[in-house]
Structure 1
Amino acid sequence: MATSYDDKTALVLSKDAEARGDYPPSYENTSQAFDHNLDDQTIRQHFIRKVFVILCTQLLFTLGVVCACTYSWDMKVFVQSNPALYYVSFAVFFVCLIALACCRNVQRKYPWNLLCLALLTVCLSYMVGMIASFHDTASVVIALGTTVAVCLGIILFSLQTRLDLTYCYSFLLVFSIVVLMFGFFCIFFYSQVLQVVYGCLGALLFCLFLAVDIQLVLGKNQLSLSPEEYIFAALVLYLDIVSIFTFVLMLVGNCRN
């Protein structure tokens, strides 16, 4: 009985001492907490790496199509003489965009998410290539260089800034509606000055979108994307960069005319 009492007393004293901080915490609990934090960082880094690999693949393919439509005379004649392919590409692009943006089963289910993203990339690359074919080579090169410089600057800014830009989505939504309405206005009242202003507003809008979406991918702020949404993250960044190029090309083309 004395031995049992001594064991119970020692157990109670050890628990009281650990609660007061006289003893270090359990090694097992510390190891589990450390492994959990390490897994979170590793998963986020793997997610970022996967997103940018997919994004670079998309951009390289689009760049190849734009260069082919700009430098190849046969390709330029083909895309300009077949406008029906542009509308077909737009329809397929729109369907794939809705599927990836609104349908979680398609967005997160392999390999359908990659197939939809690949088809969307092909269609959008053809549309951008056709738009580039109506501009001279110098305008396309200037627009490409400007887009690369602007996007690199925005990425570096988003990486080092302490500002949480993810709260700007409500402002960007209002700004998007303004740019959309201004675009409809430019259709009915065509003017070169209005086209230049529209190009500037559109490029500014998607530059802001790119800065916010970069922070969503990095996950350093309160709002972030889930690691399972790497296809959606690559899609959003790809659309931002391609839209910046399109508006800059519009701006450069109108300024050079």
Structure 2
Amino acid sequence: MWKGGGDLESAPVLYPGIPSDENVYRWAFIRKVYCLLLTQILLTVVVSAVVVFYHPVAAALTSSPAILIVLCILPFVFLCPLFYYHQQHPLNLLLLGLFTVCISLTVGIVCAYTEGRIVLEALILTAGTVLGLTLYTFWAAKRGYDFNFLGPMLSVALMVLILFCFIQLLFPLGPLSLTIYGALAAILFSFYIIYDTDNLIKRYDYDQYIWASVALYLDILNLFLAILDLLRGIQGR
């Protein structure tokens, strides 16, 4: 049910041709997803802040390569049961929280070993970009534009970016390579925000609120890390 107050017509039309009752339910679904997304972002900020400002935590997490490897693997471990139980409340929320915390620890480590000014700049740029792209996608959807065609192209671009990342890990090319990677990744995940927001408006089923939140959360997080790499590369760090 529409909870914004008023009748069906009070809900802004999401895109041309959508039935009025579907429009209402879709808005309720969108609000639910963004509430989850905001909770994930706030949890990431809190966990990352603990890692950054309480140095023993960062030191413990980086004390062994094995710990870092485990932190990289854990989010994928939680994604498997999350996929299976994504409709079972409240287990799905618990798994989503554990998934978010694991990723947040990695983000905290990255921020802990980056100059504070660069982290702040990346946060501001990320927030502005996400807000602008989200508003643009809602505006475009209302005028009949569709971004579903981006899916295959983004998948190919993501595979190329992952290959570039592996090459960078094996054969570091210095700040210039980091700058190029950060710029390409920032562009890619900006388009992913548009694509996944368009899916949120038009294509996700109502029981896929967990996956919609995870997709947007990863888009935003990867955009932040890409901008962070870009700024670090520009400053030669």
**TM-score, L = length of structure 2:** 0.84
Q: Which amino acid aligns with 2:99?
A: L
Superimposed CA distance per residue, residues 110-138 of structure 1 (whole angstroms, 9 cap, x where no aligned partner)? 22211211110010001111111111111
Matched, 1:214 2:197: yes
Q: Distance in 2 between matches of 1:249 and 1:70?
A: 15
- For structure 1, the 5+ residue unaligned runs are 1-36
Q: Distance in 1 between matches of 2:105 and 2:167?
A: 27
Structure 1 residue aligned with 2:124 = 145
Matched, 1:194 2:173: no
Aligned mate of 1:239, from 203, 212, 218: 218
Q: Which amino acid aligns with 1:193?
A: L
Could you say if the C-alpha distance between residues 188 and 91 of structure 1 is closer, same or farther in structure 2, counting changes exceeding 3 Å? closer
Q: What is the correspondence of 1:180-191 to structure 2 with a 5 Å cutoff? A: 180-191=162-173
Structure 2 residue aligned with 1:25 = none
State the Cα RMSD in Å: 1.8
Q: Report the alpha carbon displacement of residue 38 of structure 1 after superposing the two structures with TM.
A: 4.7
Q: Which amino acid aligns with 1:216?
A: N
Superimposed CA distance per residue, residues 127-176 of structure 1 (whole angstroms, 9 cap, x where no aligned partner)? 11111111111111111111111111111111111421122101111111
Check the 8 A contact 1:80/1:133 in 2, yes or no: no
Structure 2 residue aligned with 1:204 = 187
Superimposed CA distance per residue, residues 225-248 of structure 1 (whole angstroms, 9 cap, x where no aligned partner)? 001100110111101101111111
Structure 1 residue aligned with 2:146 = 164
**Count of residues paired in the alignment:** 214
Check the 8 A contact 1:70/1:136 in 2, yes or no: no
Check the 8 A contact 1:70/1:137 in 2, yes or no: no
Whose Rg is larger? 1
% identity of equivalent residues = 31
Q: Whose helix proportion is higher, 1 or 2?
A: 1
Structure 2 residue aligned with 1:42 = 24
Q: Which amino acid aligns with 1:194?
A: S
Could you say if the C-alpha distance between residues 99 and 201 of structure 1 is closer, same or farther in structure 2, counting changes exceeding 3 Å? farther
Check the 8 A contact 1:203/1:248 in 2, yes or no: yes
Could you say if the C-alpha distance between residues 232 and 40 of structure 1 is closer, same or farther in structure 2, counting changes exceeding 3 Å? same
Could you say if the C-alpha distance between residues 238 and 45 of structure 1 is closer, same or farther in structure 2, counting changes exceeding 3 Å? same
- For structure 2, the 5+ residue unaligned runs are 1-18
